[in-house]
Amino acid sequence: MQSRWHRPQSDSGVSSDAWIMGVLNCTPDSFSDGGNFFNIESAIEHGLHMFEQGAAIIDVGGESTRPGSETVPLEEELARVIPVIQALTDQGCFVSADTMKAEVMHQGIKAGASMINDVSALTFDPDSLAVIADSHVDVCLMHMQGLPKTMQQQPKYSDAVADVSLFFNQRIDACLQAGIQASAITLDPGIGFGKRLQDNIALIQGLGHFKQHFNMPLLLGVSRKSFLGQLTDSPIHDREIETAVAGAIGIANGADILRVHDVPLQRRAMQVASALSLHPSF
């Protein structure tokens, strides 16, 4: 069975729209919007607003994964995200729980989350694989070199696309052996997570390789990231144009889901990019 997140194509080869994942950081210290939605009520309001603006997935996270960030205690992370997940799913939103902790995954799924977005690809917590296998929810496996606290301290690759592909092979095998269905898996190359500028560029250019090799949905998270600032000297809160261009090229190269902060603006860019992208070989 093919994942719901694959973009179907018409007979003409034109791809349907990619999916928009709206970022909802219930944290005081995320790199772009830390503190904006730390209050539970404001987080719920913003999540519903993104849903109304066209986000297919609301990605709720209670622990910052910006470079240099510290791990949040379990009870604190649960207190930040579970009420938000519960409220959003009660209103009909499709919610993803952005976490590395198995207990947060478990409680998030009980609260209604239909997807787990784990930046460690289910490696951080040894119980994570079993939680996903037992719950039958979707899961996004992201590549990260190191952990958020240290990941940008001299990352190094011999070939970023080949190295990330090897990692995906290993993690997909681990998931299948644990009883997770292939149709539940989405892959994310982890732009900005233990990557240099040239690595980020190579991975966006190499999305077609991942699509052809794995035939799984691809999530691309480029929104407001530092590599865009390196290219244009733009500050964090003025990178939506850069985000739109990188996301559009990502869609043309095979991305199925874009993880974004500004849903209406990036949804407009996504609609154009999806209409113009052709993938006759996929």
Ranges of residues in the chain with a pLDDT under 70 are: 1, 9-15, 29-38, 68-69, 151, 278-282
The Cα–Cα gap between 243 and 224 comes to: 6
Amino acid found at 29: D
Boundaries of domain holding 184: 19-276
Residue 242 is assigned to a structural domain of this protein: yes
8 Å CB contact between 168 and 210: yes
Phi/psi of residue 189, nearest 5 degrees? -70, -10
The Cα–Cα gap between 193 and 207 comes to: 16
Question: In which order are the strands placed within the sheet that holds 185-188?
Answer: 185-188, 138-142, 115-118, 95-98, 57-61, 19-25, 257-260, 219-220
What is the predicted pLDDT for the residue at 35?
46
What is the total count of domains within the chain? 1
Residue 39 is assigned to a structural domain of this protein: yes
Residue 29 is assigned to a structural domain of this protein: yes
Neighbours of 16 (CB within 10 A): 13
Residue 281 is assigned to a structural domain of this protein: no
- 226: its two tokens: 């530092």
Residue 7 is assigned to a structural domain of this protein: no
Residue 6 is assigned to a structural domain of this protein: no
CATH number of the domain within which 52 lies: 3.20.20.20
What is the predicted pLDDT for the residue at 282?
46
What is the predicted pLDDT for the residue at 39?
84
Residue 9 is assigned to a structural domain of this protein: no
Q: What is the pTM of this model?
A: 0.92
> Model confidence over 183-220: pLDDT tens digits?
999 999 999 999 999 999 999 999 999 999 999 999 99
Residue 208 is assigned to a structural domain of this protein: yes
Catalytic residue IDs: 225, 259
The Cα–Cα gap between 234 and 150 comes to: 24
